[in-house]
A and B are shown apart, each in its own frame.
Chain A
């Protein structure tokens, strides 16, 4: 439980730290990429810290090359 709270706090801190300047300079494309990355990172972090098994992305590469 604590780890989830810490992850959320850090994400909010990063948003405040970076997102504010992006918003002020009206860089929408940067803001969009930034939010997508941060959201993905946040969700994956929570998923891992809760202990849900996630299949490794390397398995996909292995399948693509047929090994």
Chain B
């Protein structure tokens, strides 16, 4: 263990911890933008600059040392923090009211902490890039005018998902998050898992149809057999969002494209709520007894005429393992091994 002093408070942390870890243990706030606990540290945003033993360092990277004296609010640290945030804002689309991340935005939080005045901002020249929003992905958009190049999405795609559909492209003030050929996300290898937008500190990566839920309900994703823990966001009687449950031992908060974005069927008008039987070429609502009798009769009839191998069954990935077990039992009882289900992504 290493003991150090952050703003005069002593704290002991594991060797190899960072100043940020130590400060957080003490409950001391240090602003960060590019830091994310799930990812490797990057150190590019420079807002977590603090003074350690008289030298300016990034708290997210600097390892603690025995007896180290850290000042999170020295005038030198404050000056860099403030300039960095001002610069970031000069480069950022500041139309907050139309941004889905408004009030949940990390940049807003950090700007509030360092203190940004309208007089200072008026002294700076606007350097917001003029780029079209990438709307090609059906579920979310990439608005580069709101991107602060923290690289969290890039690292997420590489480290969490292993897809690496995006990377930093170009350099200098032209640096931007790119896919190959700088084409839309839909044309890339992106699997739309949405892990990046869950971590994006600003509104650069955001859901297209975002609605703020009024309450959340803990549940399990119904799609495949993995059983990811989720929170369904509910508004009135509608499900308006899904997010991964970080505490779930199954997925630690991660989700795939279906789990995260495929919830619209719940409230969809076309969703089946009762069995349908086709009569004279038209589907007509029927009772379960009617439907099951019809299925049983047709199964027996088909097996009799063409043999049991003429039967096949496909079950749903939304079924539980037990349900699937029963389903295959049923088909084998009918004498066929033609069984499959759609639990593939």
Q: Check if A and B associate.
A: no
